[in-house]
Amino acid sequence: MEYYNYIKSLHLIFVITWFAGLFYIPRLFIYHIEAAEKPSPDKEILTTQLKMMTKRLWFIITWPSAILATFFAVWLLILIPDWLQQPWMHVKLAFVLLLFLYHFKCHHLFTQLQQDRITWTSTQMRLWNEVSTLILFAVIFLVIVRDAVNWIYGVIGIFLLAGMLMLGVKIYKRLRAKNPDL
| pLDDT the model gives residue 117 | 96
- pLDDT band for 107, please (50, 70, 90 cuts): very high
| pLDDT the model gives residue 159 | 79
Give the H or E element holding residue 9. helix 4-35
What dihedral do alpha carbons 105, 53, 19, 110 form, nearest 10°?
0
Mean per-residue pLDDT, 115-141:
91
Q: Yes or no: say if 95 and 135 are a contact pair by the CB < 8 Å rule.
A: yes
| pLDDT the model gives residue 106 | 98
Q: Yes or no: say if 157 and 65 are a contact pair by the CB < 8 Å rule.
A: no
- pLDDT band for 12, please (50, 70, 90 cuts): very high
| pLDDT the model gives residue 49 | 97
- Arithmetic mean of pLDDT over the chain: 91
Give the tens place of pLDDT for each residue, 129-175: 989 998 998 888 888 877 655 666 777 777 788 888 888 888 888 88
Q: List, as residue ranges, the binding site.
A: 11, 92
Chain centroid to CA 54: how far?
Answer: 14
Q: Label each residue of 133-158 as H, E or C.
A: HHHHHHHHHHHHHCCHHHHHHHHHHH
160-180 as b/e: b if 16+ CB within 10 A: eebeebeeebeeeeeeeeeee
Give the tens place of pLDDT for each residue, 81-96: 999 999 889 989 999 9
Q: Which amino acid is at 119?
A: T
Q: List, as residue ranges, the binding site for heme.
A: 11, 92
- How far is 78 from 39, CA to CA, in rounded Å? 55
